[in-house]
Structure 1
C-alpha cells in the first residue's frame, strides 16, 4: 500500500459557511479549525494547507456556557511597565464580536507559519450579511 501526500499545487479549497447563532463557542471553534486545516477531507496532510475557506455569520450571537461572559478575560500587553489591559467577553461582544471567534479558532490551530496562512481563510461577520455569495458556500457540518 502506498501513502499519498497532498501537494499545495493540486489541492482545491472550497467555501463553507456556518451560522454561529446559539452555538457554543468551543464546539464551534473545533469544527471551524478542523475545516480550515482540512482534517475533514481524505486528502489531509499535516504539512500542506488542504483546508477550505470558512465564513462565519452572526458572530455576535455565539453562546458561552457558565459565567464566562463576565469572568473570561483577554489580556493585552503594550510592552511598557504596567501596560497590561484586561477585557472580558461582554466588552468584545459589544465592540468586536469577530475577535471572540477568531481568537478561539487561532488557539486550536498549530503554532507555526502554516497556521497564519490558514487563519487568513477564516472570514467572520457580525450579522447575517457577507460579501462571499459568489463563491456559493456550502454549510459546514457541525
Structure 2
C-alpha cells in the first residue's frame, strides 16, 4: 500500500512541475484512500488513528497557510500539505513538513540564484519529498 502512496506523491509532483496546479480530485482520492485504511484497519499508513490523522491534517494546513497568505504558495500546496498530514498523522506530519520545508528552502535558494528572488516554486515536489522520506525512513525522533 505504501508504494501506491509514493506513486501518488511522485505523480502530484510531476503534475505540479508541468502545470503549476495540483488537481483537487487527486487530493480527494488520496484522502479517501487514507480514510478507507482508517476504517478498515483502524489506523492509517503511519499507524495512527482518526484523531492523529485529523491532527496531522490541521498541522499540515497551519504550517503552510502563511505561505499562501503572503502569496508565495498556491492553495493547492496548502491542501496537499493537509492531505499529507491526514495520511501521516500528528508527529509524522510534523516530521514530513520539516523535511519539506528544508527541501523547499534549498529549492528557493537555487531558484533565487537562477531566476531571481520573486520566482514562485512548485512546492508539491518538496512536500512529496517530505512525505516519501517520512514513509520510508520512519520516525526521525522518538519521545
TM-score by length of 1: 0.29
**Greater C-alpha radius of gyration:** 1
Higher RCO (CA < 8 A, seq sep 6+) = 1
More strand by share: 1
More helix by share: 2
TM-score by length of 2: 0.29
